[in-house]
Structure 1
């Protein structure tokens, strides 16, 4: 069920939250909504759910306009950060809450719904206070999926969980959504979560979508410098822009779009390859290391004749990290966004 919003605008008093926002969420896939706090992500979900009404614009699901349809008739499941389980009901009671009374008594239905979110049927008799945070979120999703909604909206459902629970829970949740081919919109502040889980990522800024596309496109071909900086660490390197490539002190690199003149290229830390010194490679001195276990960020001072003081940050595998003061070779890989042309 494809979800489309067109020309969506919403203000609260004098504060404009959404500005003629357009977005298409492909049917049966997960779209992640990312952006800084206050950019309109949760408001967009609430309008799609029917909890808030837009000042202008339309919401359609599977080609049918639902802008004026009450929330309870939209066939949408909604899961928040808290889950909002009913504390006085068992897991079985929570999961089957929106189902016909005769179905609620069917233990097999409960077992199938719990299995869908990777929970054993023995959880059916427990109460919410007897569950971990991750288990509560899985039960909340099972309840949202029980009525077989056309769309599921997830508003930061994993943010309150610790790291280990978050990984296990989101793996179970996304597997359940994929198994049911449910169109899903996920609001998250976790960039790695958005890039790893979603088939489409939409970046909001000041109430508008500034870029939407595959995670790889958002990360490797950002629409502008602000998007590039938001989705990952950057180093700006002075460059001579020559059409589809740029010449820098670290070598030549391809550009996402043609540019000419003097400017800079924006590269990710993993695009700066650190090797042993050898003829033909630019040289650099290791200034500092930010050790992160599986890898580390290495601050380097590059040897350049013009514009002395060029420092860059490279990402290096944990077992290959140089030591402070060590001389290394450096080179660029991949493609870069030109700026300041």
Structure 2
């Protein structure tokens, strides 16, 4: 029998004055109560209760032990109640790790509204493009592109990733619009270097049957920052293959033109994921943030199965080739 159960039976016996009454209070039998208290006395090498045929009387040592035991169990119950409250009420520090571009473009605009709704939550944000061990670093939620295969973690897809092949209107006016994938060989291309692997992001272009294929194009310029890639593209330095969350603002403002319809890579790992430690009870602060982010994405026309790109028409440029 564990020590806490023995303490519960001891306290019940002291409060009720008999093993039988204590057994009734604790939903057990009198012999179990008697054995538990005898075991405590054996461990302590003191007598806690004096037994008689009519009643129990507590010894001086028993009184001292009772006071400590009662306070211990009360403190434990209070702690458990507090923890249950913490899990039920959205409060405390919420530690979020996010990829840089997604953090700036999608998370930052919703943070003020989230804090207004949940003022008892304090945010701690880590914005970087490096792999983070969610469990070792104590992160509550990581927002990452690409699926992380780790049995200790849950990966909830927030949206797929749709890509656009973009250029600025000025670039297309000066250099013409490619009419097939081979035309890109004479155009400038802005490559994206993935910080984690130091590999260039693969480029997909449609073939003559409008099937997207992997192409090995020489990059004229390379950057490892997504927002810098967008700026370079808007400034006319060449074409760039941009994920939907990076392309959105430029396409809406007219600073960028997509020369093909959006493309979604076929890999099952494709997407933006909310990643958090696997546990029996998900903290409320984590749950409400994921729900809030999901609501914000829905307002953009995004869900686990689609992005806003599905509602766009082909932005193909009408600029004629030189």
Query: TM-score, normalised on structure 1?
Result: 0.23
Which one has the largest radius of gyration?
A: 2
Answer 1 or 2: higher relative contact order, Cα 8 Å, separation at least 6.
Answer: 2
With normalisation by structure 2, the TM-score equals: 0.23
